[in-house]
Structure 1
């Protein structure tokens, strides 16, 4: 458990690979691989969607070119809003960059279609050590298809001021569908207060006038419900198919939905459905006691200032322990590149601890190269933030982010049911069954 007094940090844009990552930048629509000039210098093109990461890569590639003067790397920025629409069009037209970013929901279709370089063949074992969980995300049909760049794990940000007043140790909190084993709900009832200062554990508590919420139970795949599902022994996917509508799934989602609609210790789903960042905003304002999230939320703690003390603790445990989602952004090699040898050198560089250190040194991104992770940790230590719980969870039991060639279609299908389920408008068992059928139908089309 780590604590600090909130103080102003330099503003940073979070670029770690959140599943709903929306950081984007003014894009250039240019595409296509690079070429070789009259002086024998080959240009390799590199596409991504995030401006802050692009700035770090600019520094990284400058260092690379010093070591490989015969290769320069040209960065293309395409905004997230257009990225996935543009990508297949450029691949089909032969205008795609030599190397490009992806997330787990999108790479499978391109690997299956033969659009990608096989990293297992291109690099073999000649690379620095990567986070094993990040590597597994980009393995398919016995090969590795992406070089892991940034990764996320889940931990618990907590308002130390509020928890100290309530006498609650965040490291001891665990949820369970068995009330006799559940320590989370009783703690949340003490931490949730209405505007008159009455806690949710006391008679007279007004759920319609809450001043401080206990926990960010909400429709958040990465930080909340996929973790709770795995911690109860449930699975989200069986192969590429969806399998979350199970007794274990019903128990896990019922627990979360009840925190919102029965116990009133989490913000209303109508509000968090409309604003996925609301819980983060409430935590920064001192109106949320426990905020389960990934490293991507750390930069926003700059806005806490000196209003309260906060810290980082291990994520909430479940019946089967602390099992968290690990997600990663990877760099893919275009199989149609005209410069495979030069692309291989760039891929080797951006997979190295030296190459990824530029992403880590500003504290904005947690690198997948293991030896570069200390750079990220050192940055936050200088800010008074101990990121050990994130590191420990990254190395601990984990569950994969959504995978499969049509994963996006499946996730979109869930969107027709999960918001209403969290709002209490559809019974949990019914919503899960309908959502699973819709998702499996969507990926089969």
Structure 2
């Protein structure tokens, strides 16, 4: 609640600073009786005015090679400036304290016109009216080319507030030596929970761990994939808490069984990583993404293969999405929206993701990995990759759920009790 009030105060401050100039997001938030014919005309013509002026764009460093990354940004920005005649002032800001920097700048009305956000930020900002709705600016825009799962994180209450530039897809990466050691075929990897459980039992019998479980880390890499695969969810955008329904309890039980049977390490309750066990060949598989593949290739410790995301009732996994958004109090909304569109077109997605080695969110841009078989394989799995819990409280409920998972693994609660306690904790955070 404190964070909600803080954000709301910032919105009100921003509104006072920019005065009474209305854009389409302001108009649509009014009650029906407050919308007059002049406002309706603004909605219809919004985004169609001739572009002019300048905009400020904020983004973060995405690689360690700033020379190459800087050249990429110059090329992308030049393409936009040439196409629109709008000048771009680009600033790279650090990842640390990014929320505070963005919110403070927007409240003072000297923030960016376009900035980068991740899935747990977008609904926080959109829910209190901080973001510019992009739908009025997308007439004739090819939205169908985007991967459906990439648009999940850019949408709140049926309104689109951002366009995605990058995705990831987490799935199991298997050590081929261990697969062979347990008598299985690396070309026929587990596709379901039941198949994985059989392999896990064999791995345990041969002295290997089945997988890693970072109980001290993010729910995105621990509970959530299993929860989605079971057909469940944490909470809806209408604040209906689902984590303790039948699917939720099934996911809690699956994790608890892995711990009780010794398929995951004893320190899994609070562990942040099991890199040493995995890299020394003592683990059958780990969930990983493109970064994991790059690390394995650089180390060259053992041969590995990548499996499609597992399926139980659903075939789903986790994969973050990065997007560009515009604040509602931008002085140049049409130009800001146009930059987001140009930034995420096919050509610029290819440029950006070739440099950053993330997966494009447009199907038409995925051919950049034609010579990289592992990234090409992972690119095919983003259709199954959900970006997390898309809710304004998505970030704050994570430690509450984590505490109940840990209590369950410690033997203090049954899976049903842990799921019920997690549900009550989540309900306490709903507005």
> Structure 2 length as normaliser, TM-score?
0.77
CA distance in 1, matches of 2:299, 2:69: 29
Question: Partner of 1:357 in structure 2?
Answer: 350
Map 1:87-126 to 2 at 5 A.
87-126=102-141
> What per-residue deviation string (whole Å, max 9, x for no partner) do you get for residues 115-166 of structure 1?
2221111233424621111113222233210011111223221111221232
Of residues 382, 393, 405 in structure 2, which corresponds to 1:394? 382
The verdict on how the C-alpha distance between 1:426 and 1:86 changes in structure 2, with shifts beyond 3 A counting, is farther
Aligned runs of 1:209-224 on 2, under 5 Å? 212-219=208-215, 220-224=218-222
Cα deviation, residue 331, structure 1: 0.7
Per-residue deviation, 1:42: 4.9
Assess, with a 3 A threshold, how the Cα gap between structure 1 residues 135 and 57 changes in structure 2: closer, same or farther: farther
Q: Which residue of 2 aligns with 1:140?
A: 156
CA distance 1:81–1:434, shift in 2 (3 Å): farther
Cα–Cα, structure 1 residues 422 and 59, in superposed 2: closer, same or farther, change >3 Å? Answer: farther
Distance in 2 between the 1:126 and 1:263 partners? 52
Q: Please say if residues 69 and 355 of structure 2, whose CA atoms lie closer than 8 Å, have aligned partners that are also in contact.
A: no
Query: 1: distance between equivalents of 2:52 and 2:136?
Result: 25
C-alpha distance in structure 1 between counterparts of 2:354 and 2:78, whole Å = 20
Q: Match for residue 314 of structure 1?
A: 308
Write out per-residue CA displacement over residues 214-247 of structure 1, whole angstroms, 9 at most, x where no aligned residue: 1124445334422211222322223344311123
Return 5+ residue gaps in structure 2 as ranges: 1-17, 19-50
In structure 2, the CA distance between the partners of 1:73 and 1:52, relative to structure 1 (3 Å rule), is: farther
The residue aligned with 2:249 is 250
The runs of 5 or more residues in structure 1 that have no matched partner are: 1-32, 34-39, 177-181, 193-197, 201-211
Bigger share in strand: 1
Q: Whose helix proportion is higher, 1 or 2? A: 2
* 8 Å CA contact retained: 1:152, 1:294: yes
- Whole-angstrom distance in 2 between the partners of 1:143 and 1:73: 26
Aligned partners of 2:410, 2:75: CA distance in 1, in Å?
A: 51
Q: For residues 309 and 326 of structure 1, do their structure 2 counterparts lie closer, same or farther at Cα, with a shift above 3 Å needed?
A: closer
Partner Cα separation in structure 1 for residue 96 and residue 411 of structure 2: 31
- Give yes or no for contact 2:318–2:387 (8 Å, CA) kept in 1: yes
Change (3 A) 1:144 1:290: same
Distance 1:360 1:257 in 2: 38
The structural deviation recorded for 1:401 is 1.7
For residues 124 and 281 of structure 1, what CA distance do their matches in structure 2 show?
51
Q: Deviations over 1:303-333 (max 9, x none)?
A: 432x311111212332x24222343111111
TM-score, normalized by length of structure 1? 0.75
Paired with 1:132 and 1:425, the residues of 2 have a C-alpha distance of 40
Aligned match of 1:374 in 367, 375, 386? 367
Structure 1 residue aligned with 2:57: 46
Cα deviation code 1:59-78 (max 9, x no counterpart)? 34322343324444344343
Structural RMSD (CA): 3.0
Cα gap change, 1:241/1:60 in structure 2, threshold over 3 Å: closer, same or farther?
A: farther
Task: Evaluate the alpha carbon distance shift between residue 420 and residue 331 of structure 1 in structure 2; reply closer, same or farther with a 3 A threshold.
Answer: same
Question: Do the aligned partners of residues 185 and 145 (structure 1) sit closer, same or farther apart at CA in structure 2, a change above 3 Å counting?
Answer: same
Verify the 8 A CA contact 2:243 2:422 in the aligned structure 1: no
8 Å Cα contact 1:223/1:293 also seen in 2 = no
Does structure 1 retain, via aligned residues, the 8 Å contact 2:360–2:366?
A: yes
**Matched-pair contact (CA < 8 Å) for 1:191–1:213:** yes
1:183-227 deviation digits (Å, cap 9, x = unpaired): 3223112223xxxxx625xxxxxxxxxxx3211244453344222
